[in-house]
Structure 1
Amino acid sequence: MNTKIILRNRPNQTVTKDNFQCIDADIEPLKSGQVLVLNQWLSLDPYVRGRMSERKSYAPSMELGDVVIGEGIGIVLDSQSDQFKAGDKVIGMLGWQTHAIMNSTAIKLIPHTPFSETWLLGAAGMPGITAWIGMMDICKPQAGQTLFISSAAGSVGSVAGQLAKLQGANVVGVVGSKEKCAYVQDVLNFDSCLSYKHSSWPSNLKQSAPNGIDGIFENVGGTLFDELIPQMNPFSRIAICGLIAEGLEEHFHSINLRTLLAKRMLIKGFIVSDHVSRWREIQKQLIDLIVKQKIQVYEKITEGLQNAPQTFIDLLEGRCLGKQIIKLS
């Protein structure tokens, strides 16, 4: 029997537990080329929020009744593919469910690793690779420059900021609470961290970047993004990775094109799946940095598939630190 969480209905502005439904279903017989996977670890990621909407985006929306999408790690129970055998450890878009029937082309074998396999869902996986591409390819941090990281305590922002620090940049994190600020400064070793909810946010912003901002790794959007733009320096770079503050509604930004031209600013949105050919190369470098403890990793493990919806909501509403993972089996 497969226990799975499906999209019951679409969110109205905010995501609630009512948008999900947990059901049991029989496991169908395998067809040629298919593999049955017992899911062990489920990654929770903000991009799923956009896929719950019907709004056009870079990837298709989930249909009502679909298993909620999500990357996972599991062990092969049965195989009708020459590429996999029972007992193999695999990674792929296994979804919010205890068992997944996958085409062999949609999963990858995980060889024995000298580190925690859950890293492949976080700092050494899609979130870490996202951080690398946005920071190293677009923001291009340089020694002495000032880089701002929004959602700095999250799985992507935390890696992006640490990569900038390794290049000698002055790194400022932006988060929503005093507790997250402490984590970003004390554990991740950012130079400073600001809470945009603090009453002194505007003055703190100017104090933390007295010489202006050279780069922004943008995970949040909304009014927070608008407040940073006036502080940008000539030839500054902005990597737009996510817009979690804008939820499922449109948010229109007032950006002065004359300012963009005069300052020769670069603003670039990117999607990590557009760079699949580079994943293996980047992943090797990330693993090396993590093993050498040059990048710190924080994972929050929550047990039980039934807790995925609430943990996902907590993630979207800013109540989580680091990478959120559900332990399934």
Structure 2
Amino acid sequence: MNTKIILRNRPNQTVTQDNFECIDADIEPLRSGQVLVLNQWLSLDPYVRGRMSERKSYAPSMALGDVVMGEGIGIVLDSRSDQFKAGDKVIGMLGWQTHAVMNCAAIKLIPEIPFSETWLLGAAGMPGITAWIGMMDICKPQASETILISSAAGSVGSVAGQLAKLQGAHVIGVAGSEEKCAYVQNVLDFDHCLSYKHSNLAYYLNKHAPNGIDGVFENVGGALFDSLIPQMNPFSRIAICGLIAEGLEERLHSINLRTLLANRMLIQGFIVSDHMSRWREIQKQLIGLIDEQKIQVHEKITENLQNAPQTFIDLLEGRCLGKQIIKLS
């Protein structure tokens, strides 16, 4: 029997428990080229919120009744594929369920590794590689430059900021609570961290970035993004990774094009799946940095599939620190 969480209905403005339903279903028989996976670890990531909407985006939306999508790690129980055998550890888009029937092309084998396999869902996986692409390819931090990271305590922003620090940049984080700001400064070693809840954020930006901002790794959007544009320096770069503050609604931003022109600014959105050819190369470098403790990792493990919806809601509403993972079995 497979226990799974499906998309019951689409969110209106915010994601609620009512958008999900936990059901039990029979496990479908395997066809040639398929394997049955017992899911062990489930990654919770903000991008899933966008897939719950019917709004046109870079990837198809989930259909009502679909298993909620999510990357996971599990062990092969049965196989009708020459590529995998029972007992193999695999990673792929296994979804919010206890068992997954997967086409062999949709999963990858995890070899014996000398580190926690959960790193492959976080700092050495999709979130870490996202951070690398946005920071190293777009923001391109240089020594003495000022780089700002929004959602700095999250699984992507925390790695992005640490990468900027390794390049010698002055790094400012923005987070949603004093606890998160303390973590960002004291554990991740950012130079400063500001709460976006400050009533006068512009004052604090001027105080901690008196010479302006050279690069922004944008995870939030909303009013925070608008407040940063006047602070940007000539030849500054903005990597737009996510817009978590904008929910599932469209938000129009008033941007002075003359400011962009005069400052010769680069604003670039990016999607990590456009860079699959570089995945292993970047992952290898991230694993090395984590192993050498040059990048700190914080994982929050929550047990039980039934807790995934509330943990996901907490993640979207800023109540989580670091990488959120559900332990299934």
TM-score normalised by L of structure 2: 1.00
Distance, in Å, in 2 between the alignment partners of 1:165 and 1:115 is: 24
Which residue number in structure 2 is paired with residue 246 of structure 1?
246
Which residue number in structure 1 is paired with residue 80 of structure 2?
80
* 1:6 equivalent in alignment to 2:6: yes
Aligned with 2:174: secondary structure?
A: strand
Which residue number in structure 2 is paired with residue 135 of structure 1?
135
Determine what percentage of the aligned residue pairs are the same residue.
Answer: 87
Which residue number in structure 2 is paired with residue 307 of structure 1?
307
Aligned with 1:202: secondary structure?
A: helix
Which residue number in structure 1 is paired with residue 152 of structure 2?
152
Which residue number in structure 2 is paired with residue 161 of structure 1?
161
Quote how far apart the aligned CAs of 1:28 are: 1.3
Aligned with 1:164: secondary structure?
A: helix
Aligned with 1:235: secondary structure?
A: strand
* 1:199 equivalent in alignment to 2:180: no
Distance, in Å, in 1 between the alignment partners of 2:48 and 2:147 is: 27
Which residue number in structure 1 is paired with residue 35 of structure 2?
35
Residue correspondences, number: 329
Q: Residue deviations 1:60-100, cap 9 Å, x none? A: 00000000000000000000000000000000000000000
TM-score normalised by L of structure 1: 1.00
Matched AA of 1:123: A
Distance, in Å, in 2 between the alignment partners of 1:121 and 1:47 is: 14
Aligned with 2:143: secondary structure?
A: coil
Quote how far apart the aligned CAs of 1:200 are: 4.1
Distance, in Å, in 2 between the alignment partners of 1:221 and 1:126 is: 21
Distance, in Å, in 1 between the alignment partners of 2:199 and 2:254 is: 24
Q: Residue deviations 1:231-251, cap 9 Å, x none? A: 000000000000000000011
Matched AA of 1:106: A
1:268-279 equivalent positions in 2, closer than 5 A: 268-279=268-279
Which residue number in structure 2 is paired with residue 224 of structure 1?
224
Aligned with 1:132: secondary structure?
A: helix
Quote how far apart the aligned CAs of 1:201 are: 2.4
Distance, in Å, in 1 between the alignment partners of 2:269 and 2:28 is: 40
Quote how far apart the aligned CAs of 1:198 are: 2.1
Distance, in Å, in 1 between the alignment partners of 2:39 and 2:122 is: 17
RMSD over aligned CA atoms reads 0.5
Q: Residue deviations 1:111-143, cap 9 Å, x none? A: 010000000000000000000000000000000
Q: Residue deviations 1:267-289, cap 9 Å, x none? A: 00000000000000000000000
Matched AA of 1:72: G
* 1:110 equivalent in alignment to 2:110: yes
Matched AA of 1:88: D
Distance, in Å, in 1 between the alignment partners of 2:163 and 2:100 is: 35
Distance, in Å, in 1 between the alignment partners of 2:22 and 2:271 is: 30
Which residue number in structure 2 is paired with residue 295 of structure 1?
295
Aligned with 1:194: secondary structure?
A: strand
Distance, in Å, in 2 between the alignment partners of 1:29 and 1:60 is: 26
Matched AA of 1:95: G
Distance, in Å, in 2 between the alignment partners of 1:280 and 1:256 is: 39
Structure 2: gaps (5+ residues): none
* 1:49 equivalent in alignment to 2:49: yes
Q: Deviation above 4 Å: which 4+ runs of structure 1?
A: none
Quote how far apart the aligned CAs of 1:207 are: 0.4
Which residue number in structure 2 is paired with residue 121 of structure 1?
121
Which residue number in structure 2 is paired with residue 94 of structure 1?
94
Distance, in Å, in 2 between the alignment partners of 1:151 and 1:324 is: 14
